[in-house]
Structure 1
Amino acid sequence: MNRTQRLLKTFSELVAIDSPSFGERGVADYIRDKLQKLGISYIEDNAGAKIGGNCGNLFARVPGDSQKAPLLFCTHMDTVEPSKGKQAVVHPDGTVTSAGDTVLGADDFAGVAAILETLERLKEDRAPHPPIELLFTVAEEPYCTGVRYFDFTQCASKTGFVLDLTGPVGTAAIAAPTILSFSLTVEGRAAHAGFAPEAGVNAVEIAAKCLAQLPQGRLNSGTTLNFGVISGGKAANIVPERCVVTGEIRSAQHERALAVFDTVCAVFARESKSCGAQFTSTQDIPLRAYRAAEDGDAVRRFRRACGKLSLPVRLIETFGGSDNAALQAHGIDGIVAANAMFNCHAVDEYTTAAELEKAATLVYHLIVDEMKEGGKQIENSTRLPEN
């Protein structure tokens, strides 16, 4: 079995493990077994208990040259639905898909497999390398829930790479938005809809008036607003006394996201008051906007490693979320690297053996190629908005 075959085997084994968000125990045990066989120490935190899951985040350290700065690599262990019973189907041309009734799970098992294969190759090659830190997170798909409970004081790294981006290997996201999720509640007054409708205060009607006044969708090139779920009322013959609207705001500018939320709340508060209803709101900001420096260590290392593989470098701005927001918030210069996953979050998700190999080899070179000031750089990389 050559290295690419071993990589594909690892990937297929990971795919075969059920790992929904909050249920990553099987994958965590698989990774722990691999780390133990390689003689790598690890810890599992108590994030699972805090979020109602069956597993915590895994954090491992691989000793290296203490004279070199450590590097952090991060992937997540959960997959989106439908995922139960998924299997990797390897086609003659090297394409890998699911059977068609589940996602494949290349998001993010392609990243996990790339890291595990790289560890094997480093040991086999006895390659000198800096200290390496590995973070395998839980419940990433639901707004990066698991990583929020990881203690980043354990990390010595100031440079990091999150393997969790769709597209050809050689692509990396250097910027991502603030994501603000919210819940808006209008409390009116119930009444019999047939005998005394005028005695009621219709919370659903008030919410509808508010939504009619607010723009939705893409507000500008860097901000979106979505009202995703509306619920209210108890029965057809009762004036609904309560209506709850939930949604999210995404913006490349953090302050812009806050301003949009303030506007939404102002409209709901005004209409509720005018109709004799009460209004309350809650918000959560799981991810805050960031932009990695293009002359920072993460981007420079990425360019150098891609150069070793003759890969075109493509730096993009994503409008999705990832664990990299947590790295950035804790002072780690991180970027999100494409790791051989395509059509993510759909049953036609796929990867290829060739792209998996590129991803693993890229991780290897990110680790072993020492960045030196004045070293050869790739000058003609492009920076494009994400498709």
Structure 2
Amino acid sequence: MKRGYTGSPSNSGGPPKSRLKHSAEGDADYSEDVVQKVANHYSARTNQSLAERESSPIIHLKKLNNWIKSVLIQLYTRRGDAVLDLACGKGGDLIKWDKAKVGYYVGVDIAEGSIEDCRTRYNGDANHHQNRKKFSFPARLICGDCYEIRLDKVLADDAPFDVCSCQFALHYSWSTEKRARRALANVSALLRPGGTFIGTMPDANVIIRKLRASDGLSFGNSVYWIRFDEEYTEKSFSSSSPFGIKYQFHLEDAVDCPEWIVPVDVFKALADEYDLELVFAKNAHDFVHEYLKKPEYVDLMRRLGALGDDRDKSTLSPDEWEVAYLYLAFALRKRGQPERGQVNGRRDKAKMHISKDDIMTI
């Protein structure tokens, strides 16, 4: 791996245009062990104290990511909305949803340790949240693989949802076509017509450009590296096989596990099959430049401190900014108009304080 890599764009904009084949199989390369490895990785990560968090080598990148997620939530969430948070992790976005004054929340994650941390965070029992006021919305937590199980059956009484969110995690469904389809089918089945699916994920075009510009099969800088297996020595990708393109991703103090390429054109086409219309997909750099033109989001950036603030003059490093370039933000809208007088589900399984027994495990 070459340290300090900046990468000049290659002549290619990424994987070739996809011609989707609707194979019910296509899972030959799928391994439950790989998915479990990802779950175990996130499960094992402990909640950091404020001091530990602030000393992270990517602290400003984390703050920038929080700003991007906050902007997405503010753009597409209204007071009282019901929210489905797929791959909710340790509940890092709970405060964002609370500030948006949502009315109901369901979090789903495959990692048991993450769901338990989310529970303690919601209850205010985590060490770094002990002085925090109670959250204003009732919540429900589910431990299970949302890229495998049919959530419309599990959440029949909770649907429809106004907003679905999947932050920095949708690419884990792209290990097979079957899993990618299940992820989008779950979103479509549970969103109300006119509802919005928001999220963040790696930008396939950028990753492939950087791969092709590198001397070998790996690239990175002082805080991250990406490595592709030998099968991609030619650095070419078949348009007939857009699923299961795996690489190893390491990001200091954050990620160290396999991930999968999500070609944006394939993502758009597949989502369209499930009545999810792409509103936008913007690289994180473009997203930041666009929304930093709006005063309210400039103020949010200042408060989060991603670019430094009055107390902390440090700011996002060039290497952290390069990592941000690896990602994009997206929004999709469920086709149709909300039915008049549509009544939400009973939602009687939601709690204002969640016990271990309240967590549904699938």
With structure 2 as the length reference, what TM-score do the two structures score? Answer: 0.27
TM-score norm. by structure 1 comes to: 0.26
> Hey, which of these two has a bigger chunk of strand by percent?
1
Q: Which has the higher contact order (CA 8 A, sep 6+)?
A: 2
